[in-house]
Amino acid sequence: MIEAVLFMASTGMILSTVIALANRFLAVETDPRIEAVEEMLPGANCGGCGYSGCPAFAKAIIEESVEPGLCPVSSGDEAQRIASYTGMEPVFSEPYVALVKCCGDNTRSPERALYNGVNDCNAAINVAGATKSCQHGCLGLGSCSRACPFNAIEIDEELRIAIVHPNLCVGCGKCIESCPRDMITMVPKSAPIHILCNSPEKAPIQRKLCTRGCIGCQRCARQAPESIKMVNFLATIDYDNPPHDLSLVDTCPVDRIHTSLGIDYIPAPKKKKGAIKSLECHKVLGVAPQASEAEINKAFADKIVHYDISLIIKMDEEEQKQAIMESEKISQAYKDCLAFDPSAHTVKEGQ
Amino acid sequence: MADHLLFPGGVHPKDGKSISFSMPIQSAPLLEEYTIPLSQHIGTPAQPIVKRGQRVLKGQKIAEATDNISAHIHAPTSGEITSVSKHPITGEMLAMTNCIGPAGHMVSSLVITSDGEDKEGFTLMPIEEWQSIDKKILLERIKEAGIVGMGGAAFPTHVKLNPPQGKRPDTLIINGAECEPFLTADHRLMLEEPEKIIEGILMMKYILGAKTVYIGIERNKPDAIKTMKKHLREGIEVRELRVLYPQGSEKQLIYALTKRKVRMGTLPMEVNCIVQNIGTAFAVFEAIVMGKPLFERITTITGEPVVRPGNWRLRIGTSIGDALKMAGGVKDPEKVGKILIGGPMMGLAQFSLDTPIMKSGSGVTLLNKDEIVQYTSVPCIRCGRCVDVCPMNLMPSTMSIQAMKERFDLLEEWHVMDCLECGCCSYVCPSQRPLVQLFRLGKSHVLKKRQRELEKLKAKG
């Protein structure tokens, strides 16, 4: 017993001496400032700054005096902290976001064939050039969405289109490479107007392929010649000098205006802002769509009281049938009203 | 005797050849318009040498090969070049336009509107006494006639018949296997023009200086084997092959006939073999003895939905729609599920009837809706059937998982670039996984990566 304890203790002593010596003589000299800066960086390793990851960027900040503001993920405060730590003047670069230059979902640019293969844009493009009619549009199979480290790109599975959420997007640019049709670009977050089309085709061809494609009419280019240029038959915004006049949106011919311009892809223009449409169930109960649960309960009780079983028994056959149908309709409407979520039916501004 | 003439792996799908193999080759009626893509071969696209509005004669060269691995293109009939498009930068009116290619992408092409006279304008002189003529002249003739491999890959024949210095191929293999289900174009050609094919083979043998020539024919074509054997000449041998797909693939055919193995990443030239197709031999004969450039080919139009399936001598540039009209259309348009250029295993699905048939278009196959399975793939169950049938001895099961995890670096290590895309693995997979498509995806990524590396090297100098 005692030998074992002694043996273990002495082994421990010897090994700890070795470690202590190794720590003394074999230590690798690192700049502690690099580690400190790395701590302050977000640690997403997205590569948006142009370096291979956060450690490499931290090293570059200390050794090459690179701007901390290059990091697209960290907020202004974080960059400020790093800058004050390193003793530099912080220079903030304009935040960029990804823009998918297409609004042609499959209701606007229909699928020309049935595709039943690998759910990946790069794979689909090898099969007869993918199924979307437009040869330049978004396929909506989600290669960019999977490449995004920040979950900023959403794929609408039904409409087959990629939607960028500008609040989540940090502008790292990983999605650009993943797109087989090269239709994702980085645009300044502050630019209010965008052209959501990537097709340089002429109007007669474009009209057949997609109802919302740019037809190259040049109206917007004529109104803002300094910021919109024509490339082949596609109006293209010069983001060094982006247009800020929102009336440009109205120059785009009917049906293409709302969706061809505007940062968020908008599925289809439906209602005026803030308005909640009352559904059938609200009409039956006679309540407002915003009604609270108590109000709905009260309205239901008031209505259903006319169809009490004691009253129904007294009616003749024809009236009974009608009363039963009516009472069923009311209870169904009551259920629907309770399940109704007003926030899901509220439309954002700008439609 | 022939049981050993096969390769490892392979499958035997329903062959469907009975639909069209008994139909003699018919000549196609003259059409009003032909759309001729400029890239009908592997390599750089040809450059048009005609202007818009210019009148051309049948067989006149309308597009020229730009470099060595490229092929000339000739007018299929006499008429006027009517296609037009504007140069994006200069605004100059060009003779080119865009049409949908078989791969579904837009390709630049020429359109000829026929004048109905079908006037011949062959500029090549017929060579009768080819045995006494220099090989180089014959090679030049094959190049001038724009002949490419008619089996499907469309590799320019004059490049294949001109081995690099230091290589002396001793075996010429003629591919008459036609392993692709439904297609019968080569089969009919062997039955109807055996003498011309043999003559063409002799010419190629003379150009190459090969000692032995094998004609490999699958045993499901006994009449073709009989006919070819009847017309054999010295130095040519007909070998019966076992019926197995993909017997007609270059590397598989070489192994089956000579037991030589082509190492990965190398060409058949390395094992002193050259493989040519039956259709190519016929085209070589026509080019040399008749001076006729390649502007028509035998194409099978087949499938259950076609009213009069058969084999046609189609001019290059005939659209699928026109070809189907010749075959009497389809029985019930509602029932048609898929239109393919090529056969059901390696063919390309089409979404438009305007797609033109090119030099490599050996067939148009229509499938009914009930012949197509719309499946949902489920995870791999590791049964290993795909490994058994892969003719290249790859491991599709593991590789498909690598592709799904986007590990394209691993895929390259597992030799995805050697995949033939023959589809045997997808055919047998009980989980119905889209294996070939995943490998195609992997291949495109590997090619992109190699391209990037090349550019880096170039930038470094």
ipTM attached to this prediction:
0.79
CB-CB under 8 Å, B105 with A122: no
> Is residue A21 over pLDDT 50?
yes
Other beta carbons less than 10 A from residue A251's beta carbon: 18
Burial class of residue A344 in the structure, from the number of CB atoms within 10 Å of its CB (0-12 exposed, 13-18 middle, 19+ buried): exposed
Q: Mind listing the pLDDT tens digit for each residue in B254-267?
A: 999 988 888 887 88
> Is residue A310 over pLDDT 80?
no
Task: Give percent of chain B with pLDDT exceeding 90.
Answer: 44
CB-CB under 8 Å, A122 with B445: yes
CA angle A217, A222, A225 (to 5 degrees): 125
CB-facing half-sphere around the CA of B259: CA atoms within 13 A = 2
> Is residue A264 over pLDDT 50?
no
**Alpha-carbon span A270 to A107, nearest angstrom:** 15
Which among A112, A113, A127 has CB closest to B437? A127
- Which residue do the tokens 């209505």 mark? A303
> CATH says B125-289 is which class?
alpha beta
In angstroms, the Cα distances linking B445 to B210, B272, B449, B455 are 39, 32, 6, 15
Q: Which two structure tokens, joined as six digits, stand for A39?
A: 């701590």
> B374 to chain A: nearest residue by CA?
A116
The verdict on B350 touching A (C-beta cutoff 8 Å) is: yes
Q: For chain A, give the number of residues.
A: 351
Mutation test of the interface with chain A: which of B437, B439, B447, B449, choosing the one with the most A Cβ atoms within 10 A?
Answer: B437
The verdict on A208 touching B (C-beta cutoff 8 Å) is: no
CA distance B105 to chain A (A): 5
Q: Which two structure tokens, joined as six digits, stand for B347?
A: 């063919």
CA distance B409 to chain A (A): 16
CB-CB under 8 Å, A116 with B441: no
Confidence of residue A272 (pLDDT cuts 50, 70, 90): very low
pLDDT at site A116: 82
- Please give the full DSSP string across A34-97, using - where no structure is assigned: HHHHHHHS------TTSSSSHHHHHHHHHHH---GGG-SSS-HHHHHHHHHHHT----PPPPEE
CB-CB under 8 Å, B351 with A127: no
The verdict on A131 touching B (C-beta cutoff 8 Å) is: yes
In angstroms, the Cα distances linking B249 to A116, A234, B324, B422 are 27, 45, 28, 9
pLDDT at site B85: 60
Average pLDDT, chain B: 88
> B349 to chain A: nearest residue by CA?
A128
> B341 to chain A: nearest residue by CA?
A128
CB interface of B with A, residues 417-446, below 8 Å: 434, 437-438, 440-441, 444-445
**3 state DSSP class of A237:** strand
> Is residue A350 over pLDDT 50?
no
Confidence of residue B95 (pLDDT cuts 50, 70, 90): low
pTM of the full structure: 0.77
> B352 to chain A: nearest residue by CA?
A112
Q: Mind listing the pLDDT tens digit for each residue in B220-259?
A: 899 999 999 999 888 899 999 888 888 888 889 999 998 8
CB interface of A with B, residues 262-281, below 8 Å: none
Which among A126, A129, A130 has CB closest to B440? A126
Sign of the CA dihedral A254, A217, A250, A155? positive
Chain B residues whose beta carbon lies within 8 Å of the beta carbon of residue A232? 88
Q: What is the DSSP letter of A117?
A: S
CB-CB under 8 Å, A123 with B103: no
Kindly report whether the peptide bond that precedes residue B169 is cis, defined as omega within 30 degrees of 0. Answer: no
Which among B105, B434, B444 has CB closest to A129? B105
Burial class of residue A151 in the structure, from the number of CB atoms within 10 Å of its CB (0-12 exposed, 13-18 middle, 19+ buried): exposed
In angstroms, the Cα distances linking B48 to A70, B56, B101, B292, B294 are 50, 13, 17, 20, 16
CB-CB under 8 Å, A128 with B348: yes
Mutation test of the interface with chain A: which of B98, B373, B374, B440, choosing the one with the most A Cβ atoms within 10 A?
Answer: B440
| φ, ψ dihedrals at A139, nearest 5° | -85, -20
Q: Among A241-245, B38-42, B93-97, B158-162, which stretch is predicted with the lowest mean pLDDT?
A: B93-97
Amino acid sitting at position B270: E
